[in-house]
Amino acid sequence: MALTQLPPVGPSAREVVPRRQPTRESAARTYPRSLPVVPVRARGLTVEGADGRRYLDCLSGAGSLALGHNHPVVLDAIRSVLDSGAPLHVMDQATPVRDAFTEELSATLPRAWADSARIRFCGPAGTDAVRAALALVRKATGRTGLLAFTGAHDRIAAAAPGGSVIRLPYPQDYRCPFGVGGAGGARLAADRATSLLEHRGSRADGPAAMLVEPVLGEGGVIPAPDGWLRRMRDLTAAHGIALIADETHTGVGRTGAFWAVEHSGVVPDVMVLSDAIGGSLPLTAIVHREELDAGRTGDRAGAFRGNQLAMAAGAATLKYVRENRLPERAAALGERMLAGLRAMAGECDHIGEVRGRGLMIGVELVDPGAPGPADGGSRPPLPAASAAAAAVRGECLRRGLIVGLGGRYSSVIRLLPPLTITDEQADAVLDRFSDALAALSHGAHQQAFGPLERPGTPRHRGPSRNAGAPGGPGARTPGAPSPRGTTSHPSPPNHPSTPKEAGAAFPV
């Protein structure tokens, strides 16, 4: 059914539905509290609420909507399965839909690995895939321990007993655990991991796996340095430890490569895939080296290992992203948006760092009123401002922009637009985000955090807060080029959210 054929939304959906939800559902609900929107229609980047307002969705289902909402190729794939009479639920039997998905997924994997890789479908949640990956390597190695990193997704705690997990420092610039940032901080983080393994004795005493996100997602959008990730690959190989890359948030082109590990040239032993691979529907899988295939008949991996609709939608998504070179577009447009946000940071003391890779972007908000060193030298990272970040998110929502929060202190604004976002829409996102920052210079927020000036307001600036990482990927760069002054990039072909096709229903 086309979007324009949906029944009109009345007062019931607009008023009764959100009031009734708390009386029926658990208090574990998350997004209704921070994003009080009742979505009723969506296309591409745009969501229409029951109140008739339209929003630019830069949360994209926590990054799971690679093509945005209701992309035509996804809807066509789903309809084709429904119209064919194929079973919607199978276990792990071979079906044409399943075969098409595995064929398309194999076509996206690094060539050094694709011909011998094995795919295993898991339950519908990312935690199920992490649990399956850990079970795989534990069975193959006979060991149980796990090396993970600070700031990693909390699915690790759900998938592995706490006592068996050793946390290592994850390298970053702005809040470097060693206080130096840059290449020096990455080197110290790698040295810490090396020292730990070299003092554990024989291989038999070592952990079974190291689980790493190539870009920390909910941990605050922190890209792993390529050199550091290569050292982790060399280290795990030397100690007989399986390297598991968690591509739940980073896969399917979001970071500017089809899989984020490709930036560093690293080939892991196992990849955890979820979110975007299902084309907006629940689907998870692990892809691993053939030598680890220790599966036995009867191994249980859940009743929903054969979601036919998700596999059809996922195959269509993977093919569209690959054929239309959306990873390359994400890299180019992501740099353009980062440049615009860094220009804002140069005029707004509440922005501590802008960072990201491709269309996986984070803006960390800080308290600029924290005292600096007595000698007037370069200031260390400022305290995180979680309340200010929540206020900015609220101001964004008032202006029709949906964003997320992340980071250890929930002080990082996360921007995860679909890979099909147009140049015009990217400009609209930046304009609304800039206005949201400016709005915090008024009212109660000003008393709590001090004024947040509108980007472009000239004033005296203090010393840099990024002295630990000069020139780093998230360093504040006053005077950086405005996004409107950079080269535009063509939108993908047949994109449904371009003004020509969606202008009447979903104007930017």
For residue 171, the 8-state DSSP code is P
Q: How many residues does the chain have?
A: 508
pLDDT digits (tens, 9 = 90+) for 152-162: 876 666 566 55
From the number of C-beta atoms within 10 Å of its C-beta (0-12, 13-18, 19+), residue 478 rates as exposed
Nearest to 393 by CA among 365, 360, 355, 421: 365
pLDDT of residue 8: 53
- What spatial distance separates the first Cα and last Cα of the chain, rounded to whole Å? 23
Residues in Cβ contact with 166 at an 8 Å cutoff, skipping those fewer than 6 apart: 145, 146, 147, 148, 196, 207
Please say whether the dihedral angle defined by the alpha carbons of residues 496, 499, 502 and 506, taken in this order, is positive or negative: positive
pLDDT, position 9: 54
Taking alpha carbons only, the member of 275, 298, 311 closest to residue 88 is 311
Q: What pTM, to 2 d.p., does this model score? A: 0.83
Helices in 292-409 by DSSP H: which ranges?
308-323, 326-345, 386-398
8 Å CB contact between 269 and 251:
no
Q: What are the C-alpha distances in Å from 162 to residues 146, 156, 158, 271? A: 10, 9, 9, 22
Q: What is the pLDDT of residue 396?
A: 96
Indicate the SS3 state at residue 467.
Answer: coil
The pLDDT of residue 264 is 96
Q: Is 379 within 8 Å of 395 (Cβ atoms)?
A: no
Looking at residue 27, its pLDDT comes to: 63
Euclidean distance between CA atoms 424 and 420, whole angstroms: 12
The predicted structure's pLDDT at residue 440:
75
pLDDT value of residue 370: 78
Residue numbers in the chain where pLDDT is lower than 50: 1-6, 297-298, 374-377, 443-490, 494-508
* pLDDT at res. 2: 43
Q: How far apart are CA 209 and CA 232, in angstroms?
A: 11
Angle (CA) 470 246 307, round 5°: 145
Rounded Cα–Cα distance for residues 2 and 75 (Å): 10
d(CA 54, CA 219): 29
Contact by Cβ (8 Å): 283, 311:
yes
In this prediction, residue 157 carries a pLDDT of: 61
CA distance 153 to 212: 10
Query: Distance between CA 209 and CA 149 in Å, rounded?
Result: 12
For 371, phi then psi, to 5°, come to -70, 145
